[in-house]
Chain A
Amino acid sequence: MAALTPRPRPRLTLTPAHTRVVFGVALAGAWLGETVNTYEVPGAAAIVAPAIWSALSLAFLAAGAAFLYGVRPRLSGAALLLLLVVAAAVEAKVVGRAGEHHGKHLPALALAAMVACAALGRERLAHQAACGAVGAAYVLSGLAKLLGSGAAWWQGGTLGLLVAERAVAGPAWLAAPRLQVALSPHLCSVLALATLLIECAGVAMLWPRARRAWAVAALGLHAGVALLMGYVYVTWVMVVVALAFGSFVMSPHDAENTQAAPPARG
């Protein structure tokens, strides 16, 4: 009679090691953003007691550490995703406006894709699925501009006015360069068109060999958005870097079994 052996648990290995830090910063940024957005609203503490939020934050921290160190990734990933969904629901209830803060979306989309693969028993596809989901977010952003404004979106005046608003309202040291850009319709057209092209080129995340080149372009896009518009999307940058330059290998077997397994013959 064969001895009963415990069913192997999946493990998640992030390589190189700093991928763990990069994706961790993205997750932490998503949670921190939720916290700030929720509690800057008067009366938020009456809807969600800070003690409860603190407990949720500790749970997020624990689940995040477990996920990033590959411990029970199916469970810890699902817990992380669930906590982000709860936080987003609380934010929507407290703030009263949904979809305004996008910082939380990319870490959650990448997680959702990984967790879905694990739940379907397709752990090895987790990284690929996360790349597809993240690329889709950028393509959606480009599509929204095309559907919402069409070719008028990259006419100079559109971006020019947005940048001019941030020139008068942003930090003093950026006022002059922002104003110079805003008053140059040709430059604004080029920048707007480049934005649209890079966003739509998010489809490159479907091809492993194209990911790094597109990620560099996306980093340039985020740098430009930060300088001209003042939006620093740290979580998005970190997710793109983690997925394009790192590797998330979710194995259906635990590490000990894998190491102990004899080499296959024949």
Chain B
Amino acid sequence: MSAQTLAEKLIARAARRAAVTPGEIVTCQVDLAMMHDSGGPRRVKPMLERLGAKVWDPEKVVVITDHYLPANDDESQRIIATAREWVRGAGVKRFYDGIGICHVVLPEQGHLKPGMFVVGGDSHSPTGGAFGAYMFGVGATEMVGVLVTGEIWLKVPHTIVVEWDGAFGDGVSAKDVMLFLCGRFGMDGGRYQAVEYAGSAIGRLGMQERMTLANMTAEFGGQAGLVAPDEVTRAYLAAAGVAEIDTATWRTDDGAQLAAHHCFDGAALAPQVAAPHSPANSAPVGAFRGVRVDTAYVGACTGAKLADLRMAARVLRGRRVASGVRLLVAPASLRDQETARAEGTLAALLDAGGKLLPNACGACAGYGELRFGEGEVAISSTARNFKGRMGAASSEVYLASPYTVAAAAVTGRIADPRELL
């Protein structure tokens, strides 16, 4: 058989085929379907009722509440109540209620492993690709299609390899990689194809950093963002209770056909900042040095996992937030928050003046009560700074790594975090 990419192997397995060819349309069997409270039960329940249909396999469904928590108004409470009621009726036992953001909770609870084909009812679903699974986002109606049939169609993607060699410098993270790529290639740089991150600098990253790469493949415009599994993957999954994983099969073969192969030197990457209102408005941090901020936000699946909290803590430990600046910290999962608490990371953030927020999507989704005000200038470790997404249309959100967000919190202005490490 000719050489195949990781994406092609994953899709061929799900399509019950020996091989697939980029461009062809195939029907895939879904191993797992993940939903959250916003695009999940409140939307799929009425549609399933209209169809008079049941979930094809409740064992293959995971529901996680994160968008409308805390539920402080009638509509939010109704949305969360619908999720709780629906999982009971549908027989969905894998229900995680208020313990964190879906993309972080899903692997934490051991639901992902290399080789799987997974759909998620959220655009940041490519996060699962960090584990060598093909995972992508769908809307609520398409999720109903999966829930009823267990299948979904797919146009087999080409593969774009983004290779980073060497090692990233201290104070440079996966977030900087993705802001750089969005700036360099645009938000459609991924062309809705499969983007695979490879190279020695990627191999040195821990799982949560790889999750940030895969996660922001959404902003980069790919359908899926993949990292071939290795010993780092094996160790993370073993701790999550996933025993056997296959690292030999789930990799791109030498000589496989690629749509593009970009190579970069990890050591040459500086911390990046993206100006309002696009992740593609990125440049090295020096270009924005001195921009005054009102708020520093460490949050979201992109930027508030344990690894992210540790980055922020390295800058904040022993320092205080600048006068007039508010630092908000919304750990991406309860487990990450409690690990951070036990090891002293959380104390470093809170002692610096950070305010602890619930383990939910918070200001990133812009669905709840926490929204930035008129003219507010924020620097955020989240993924998107679209106009008005996180608050008022006149609010201005700069995107950066947790290191750079923490540096701005301490100095009151955008600053190079490497000078504070």
Chains A and B form a bound pair = no
